[in-house]
Amino acid sequence: MKFHSFNVLIVLALFLSLLGSAVTVTPAYAAGILVNTAVDEDTNNANCSLREAIIAANTNAAYNGCTAGAGADTISFDANYTITLVGSQLPAITSQITINGNGASNTIIQASICNPVTLPGGCTPATYRVFEVSASGTLTLDSLTVRHGRCNGLMCPTGPNLGGGIFNNNGTLTVTNSTLSGNSADGGGSIYNNNGTLTITNSTLSGNSAGGGGGGIYNSNGTLIITNSTLSNNSESSGDGGGIYNMGTLTVTNSLFSENSAIRGGVIVNQDTATVTNSTFSENSASLGGAIFNYATITLTNSTFSENSAGFGGSILNLGGTLNYSNTIIANSLSGGDCFDAGSIGTNTNNLVEDSTCSPALSGDPNLSPLQNNGGPTQTHALLSGSTAIDAGNAGVCPATDQRGVSRPLDGDATPGAVCDIGAFEYSSDNTFPTVVFNSLVASYAAGAGPSNFTVNFSENVYDPAGNTNEDDVTNPDNYLVVEDGANDTFNTVSCAGGVTSDDVQATITSITYNAGLYTATVNLSGALPGGSYRLFVCGTTSIADTVLNTLNNGLSDYTFDFTVGGTGTGTSTGTGNPTPATTASALPKTGFAPNKVTTLAAQPATLEYAKLGDLVLEIPSLNVKSTIVGVPQNADSTWDVTWLGNNIGWLNDTAFPTWEGNSVLTAHVTNASGLPGIFANLKGLQYGDQIIIHLSGQKYIFEVSQSKLVRPNTTAFAFEDLDDKSYLTLITCQGYNSLNDTYLFRRVVRAVLVSVENE
């Protein structure tokens, strides 16, 4: 046989050589198949339905109105569709297919219009699931919703009572940026993972139910990985695991489980191996184990359990299994105690259990906020000031970030040094929100010269996690809007939260890059903007955040800037403002020397001598600052030389005299000539409402901080704003030393307004 096979190969080689260039070998490339109808059909017409697209992808052949699949196929949609299946589930996935929706609210694939969990109006639900993945299949679902599938009793053709939404039967299933809701089955309300691999990321499983295990997911001898996701309001009516019934390998990271319920294990019943990190369990309930019922081995790290309830084990019941837990909070259980152990406790490191059950290192109230949006992809219970969990974790097991993606550790208490916190939330004492200090757009562009990109400068470093889809990410295109005013010549779009409205026309943003060193985002458009009137929104209401997830403009407003192409623009902005200056100065003063080295100063020229202003003294109680104010003369070029201020505070001549009505600008060094911290070293730490006091002639003029901004050295409009309605102080110093060119990149500008005058 070997001899004959060899001869055949020789003959075949000779034959191919005779054909020469007439024979080419074509590799199998991935195909793109476009669904162009919401109708669930299998009809030979011009339409390509989702059902037909899956057949084309599975068979690598054109089918009805769908182009042929080839290799790994991607199915997408030409519009936003709600697809309601007719009579049966979609064809089982037998090849490698990715189905890309247009967003979970825009692409909906449902077995029926009737929700089998809630049965609104007594409707009749489907008797089939939505998707099935076979042993040879690999399915990725991205940015869509799967709902209203039902597999109870013996009604579904494969795995007759398993996987109401999706049955993964020895295949590979990945769910990203998607929602599974209102699905029902005897096992695995939304998904049954049978000896397969299931990965869920940035997704929501909500309102699913089961009667025989796993209201959300049943993991049978498979691998289940859940990241940055939410499982909520899932239920198991007669047994185990309102959220997950695990009989395989389960790994959970950065996720939320809330308001799930079951007889045993409101969230998880574990009968194999489970690992949970940086996750929150809140308001779940069961008869036994309000959040977790553990029969086998479970490991919990930096997780938070709060407000769960049960007859026994309000949050955790460990029955014959091994509970390993570290840096974890278990508290505020509504019934059943916090933790009930009838097995063994293995690793037990730096845990805080309020009622001292399960032998923790710490006990007592951890002082948690309600469950809420504290930034990041999932909700959390924040640690409040003074919590015993702050800086009390074990660094050896602490993850690099918390559940939200905020870096660990942060220094959250009065003791020097940053130590990891206990629980899923890392506390920060920094509550200064970022602002936009500058954008590179100009008020008016000539016709044909519209911008194709622009930069946005922030007051501090902002959040830039991997990728560009996180809702707080500075590089997420959804956090910027550029709109043209449309046919009615009026901007109808009012905020990022409200979205683009009426006849406003949205320009396409293709990408954003971010330079953390300069706090600068570069926004790239799909092309140069044509003639028209435009408004830029940098989103604070939806929103960009800093590295500890304080939101832009405190989440109260967006930054906007108006400009025109081929017209006369005003360059009007809101959110930081482009105020009218009160002086012609072209740059802010240089108020810092190189840190950690001595700078030798020349003698101060007589022409630059600072004026003595009597008993004029500035005090900042929160910074422990109190120093004499001297007058700094303005040079012919409208600048001020503050080189010789030393430990004094300089009033910039040509601005309002301190305590008088108007804008009085004061400056001091962030680092003095000796290389040590200067008078204004901690100016950036001032918060809204902090007091600044001017002492003059036996009286105290009390000002309160209203704004704090980080600006470029030549961005003068805010600092020298023309204010004449009240008495204001504006304090300036340097920030952001760059050793490469021995200069400071930014200026910190703090504005305060007079609120009262008292006798000393």
Q: For 398-417, what is the HEC assignment? A: CCCECCCCCECCCCCCCCCC
Q: How many H-runs (helices) and E-runs (strands) does the chain carry? A: 2, 54
Question: 403: which residues sit within 8 A by CB, 6+ positions away?
Answer: 254, 255, 256, 278, 279, 280, 376, 378, 380, 424, 425
Return the H-helix or E-strand segment holding 39. Answer: none
In this structure, the number of other CB atoms found within 10 A of the CB of residue 477 comes to 16
- What single DSSP character describes residue 6? H
**Residue range(s) occupied by CATH 2.60.40.1220 in the chain:** 436-574
Residue 303 is predicted with a pLDDT of: 99
On the CB side of 350, how many CA atoms lie within 13 Å of its CA? 21
Q: 336 phi and psi, to 5 degrees? A: 85, 5
Interatomic CA distance for residues 212 and 152, integer angstroms: 10
Q: 58 phi and psi, to 5 degrees? A: -65, -40
Q: Name the nearest CA neighbour of 484 among 457, 511, 502.
A: 502
On the CB side of 281, how many CA atoms lie within 13 Å of its CA? 38
Q: Name the nearest CA neighbour of 291 among 221, 378, 232, 376.
A: 232
Say if residues 732 and 712 touch (Cβ distance below 8 Å): no
Using only C-alpha atoms, what is the Rg of the chain? Answer: 32
Which structure tokens are listed for 404? Answer: 């939200």
DSSP, collapsed to helix, strand or coil, labels residue 346 as strand
Q: Cis bond leading into 409, ω under 30°?
A: yes
On the CB side of 32, how many CA atoms lie within 13 Å of its CA? 6
* Cα dihedral 29→136→250→107 (10° resolution): 60
Strand partners, 607: none
CA-CA distances (angstroms) from residue 570 to 380, 565, 573, 585?
A: 43, 12, 9, 21
Q: Domain spanning 606-759: which CATH class is it, in words?
A: mainly beta
Buried b vs exposed e over 617-643: b needs ≥16 C-beta within 10 Å?
Answer: bbbbeebebebebbbbebeeeeebbbb
Q: Report, as ranges of residue numbers, the positions in the chain whose pLDDT lies below 50.
A: 1-29, 576-582
Residue 685 is predicted with a pLDDT of: 87
pTM listed for this prediction: 0.71
Q: Domain spanning 75-316: which CATH class is it, in words?
A: mainly beta
Residue 656 is predicted with a pLDDT of: 86
On the CB side of 757, how many CA atoms lie within 13 Å of its CA? 7
Interatomic CA distance for residues 334 and 307, integer angstroms: 6
Domain 436-574 = CATH 3.40.50.720: no
The three-point CA angle 380-227-185 to 5° equals: 100
Q: 73 phi and psi, to 5 degrees? A: -105, 150
* Cα dihedral 416→422→425→428 (10° resolution): -10
Q: Name the nearest CA neighbour of 340 among 275, 253, 265, 411.
A: 265
State pLDDT tens for residues 416-450.
788 999 999 999 988 888 999 888 999 899 999 99
Q: Cis bond leading into 17, ω under 30°?
A: no
On the CB side of 194, how many CA atoms lie within 13 Å of its CA? 19
In this structure, the number of other CB atoms found within 10 A of the CB of residue 232 comes to 21
Interatomic CA distance for residues 486 and 491, integer angstroms: 8
DSSP, collapsed to helix, strand or coil, labels residue 19 as helix
698: left (phi over 0), alpha (psi -120 to 50) or beta: left
Residue 62 is predicted with a pLDDT of: 97
Q: Name the nearest CA neighbour of 271 among 204, 309, 214, 197.
A: 214
Length of the chain equals 760
Which structure tokens are listed for 678? Answer: 């200067």
Residue whose entry in the numeric block shows the structure tokens 């080419």: 24
Say if residues 210 and 186 touch (Cβ distance below 8 Å): yes
Which structure tokens are listed for 118? Answer: 């809630």
Residue whose entry in the numeric block shows the structure tokens 């669904």: 35
Which structure tokens are listed for 458? Answer: 């922030």
What are 465-471's contacts with CB under 8 Å, separation 24+?
465/405, 468/511, 468/512, 469/177, 469/202, 470/376, 470/377, 470/405, 471/377, 471/542, 471/543
* Cα dihedral 89→91→94→98 (10° resolution): -80
Distance between start and end Cα atoms, the chain: 110
